[in-house]
Structure 1
């Protein structure tokens, strides 16, 4: 059994990137840090179109599904319902998403408005720039491997 603690001696200079990131002992901390770094890259580009990556992700999901309930969106993104409510509220306020009642009176169905579709078209080139930045750094083979690994790790984590 391997046990990792912050006090374990390691050759930090050999393992840490040049920018002196802390060596973190668990998958969760490492993935959260990675997510923050990648989110900054996408947000930096998408802000030029007045969006952040969480908003762009919801717009693209609604474009793909046509309409979706909050429950479906929450499951599809593995996102907390409270966070989703806040983001959907911002998109509705901007006029990019509309809502209607579903078959069940409690169910609400979300879909893109024309303005939301235009916003996606406006943001798409900035999203592509963020993708290109990462892909260029990783290279095509590692890019493909990263996407496959992320998918497998997500499935494993959901099953755990």
Structure 2
């Protein structure tokens, strides 16, 4: 990092933060902590719907891509297949999704949003967006897009190392 005035300010702010807590020198800790914070904000904003962040991710993936098999759905959101298999029955019991066996392969379960599921996704959009906005609202507006881009770069660069890789296009 070159010694520009902006970089010196960043270095000083980073050093001061790391003096407050040694944990602030650990990207993994900060990522996990931010995830906890976001989950709390999501729950706060969406409590009326009684939908978890994982359930919302599944519903929105189905809304975007349409019917798909459970394995593909897992890859669409970077979740382990077993977790998807545990969450889908809850969504099905609330009539947000429909699951059927594939006509081509009886071992494959196809999943699609029901009308009720589509309506739920639409009703939740604003609340979920508020949670996303609140997660990064303390960054200066000019830095929010850069922060998002940096997160995307890290996810894409390390995606192949995940136990449940995200399908990248």
Which range is displaced more, 26-35 or 40-49? 26-35
Partner of 1:27: 27
Cα distance in 2 for residues equivalent to 1:115 and 1:82 = 25
Partner of 1:81: 81
Offset at residue 138 of structure 1 (A)? 2.1
1:74-125, Cα deviation, whole Å (9 max, x unpaired): 1122211121112212111110000112222111111000111111122122
Secondary structure at the counterpart of residue 95 of structure 1: coil
Partner of 1:62: 62
Residues 14 and 27 of structure 1: CA distance in aligned 2, closer, same or farther (over 3 Å): closer
Partner of 2:17: 15
Cα distance in 1 for residues equivalent to 2:129 and 2:42 = 9
After TM superposition, the structure 1 = structure 2 runs for residues 117-128 of structure 1, keeping only pairs within 5 Å, are 117-128=118-129
Partner of 1:7: none
Partner of 1:129: 130
Q: Is the 8 A contact 2:59 2:117 kept in 1?
A: yes
Gaps of 5+ in 2: 1-14, 162-169
Offset at residue 16 of structure 1 (A)? 5.1
Offset at residue 132 of structure 1 (A)? 2.9
- What count of residue pairs does the alignment treat as equivalent? 147
User: Could you tell me the TM-score, scaled by structure 1's length?
Assistant: 0.79
2:164 pairs with 1:155: no
Offset at residue 59 of structure 1 (A)? 0.8
Offset at residue 30 of structure 1 (A)? 2.8
Cα distance in 1 for residues equivalent to 2:156 and 2:129 = 26
Offset at residue 134 of structure 1 (A)? 2.9
Cα distance in 2 for residues equivalent to 1:56 and 1:72 = 16
Cα distance in 2 for residues equivalent to 1:139 and 1:131 = 15
After TM superposition, the structure 1 = structure 2 runs for residues 106-125 of structure 1, keeping only pairs within 5 Å, are 106-125=107-126
Query: Aligned-residue CA RMSD in angstroms?
Result: 2.4
User: Could you tell me the TM-score, scaled by structure 2's length?
Assistant: 0.76
More helix by percentage: 2
